[in-house]
Amino acid sequence: MTLVHPFMVHFTITCTLLAMIKWSGIPFLNGIPESFFKWVLPPLFVLTVLSGQFSLGALKVESPRLLTSLKWHRALGIGSAVLAIWTIFAFPAKTSSEEKEAHRVAIAIKSLFSLPGLVVVMIVLTATIGGLLVHIYRVGVPAQI
C-alpha cells in the first residue's frame, strides 16, 4: 500500500518555507501577495496532517524507537503548522527595505532569529525526522526495494 503523506508533504513544506521567507522580509517574493499564502496554506496543512494520520494508522509499529520518532515527527509537524498559520494571520509580512548588497547577509541572519525563522527551524527538524523514518526505519518503502 502506498502512503499518501510523503507525496502530500513536499508541496506543503515548499509553500510554507516560501511564506516564511516572505514574512521574514527577505527580498525574494515581492510579486506574490500575502493573500495567496493565507488561502493556500491552511487547506494544505489540514490535508497534510490528515494524510499523516491516515499513514500512521496504516503502519504496523513494533519498535519503541520507531514509535518515539513518529510521535516527535507528528508533534513537530503539527507545531510548525500551527506556528506558521499564526505567523501569516497574526502578523503582516515584512516589506523588504532597499538596503545595500553588503547588508543582505545581515538581513538573512537577523531573519533566522524571528518567528518565521523559528518555523523554518521546526520544519527542518520535522523533515529530518521524516527522512530518518524513511531511510532508517523504511516507513512507506515497499518491501521489494
Tens of pLDDT, residue by residue over 88-128, are 999 888 775 555 445 666 666 666 668 888 999 999 999 99
**Which residue in this structure is represented by grid cell 491516515?**
54
Q: Phi/psi at 66 (nearest 5 deg)?
A: -65, -45
pTM assigned to the model:
0.82
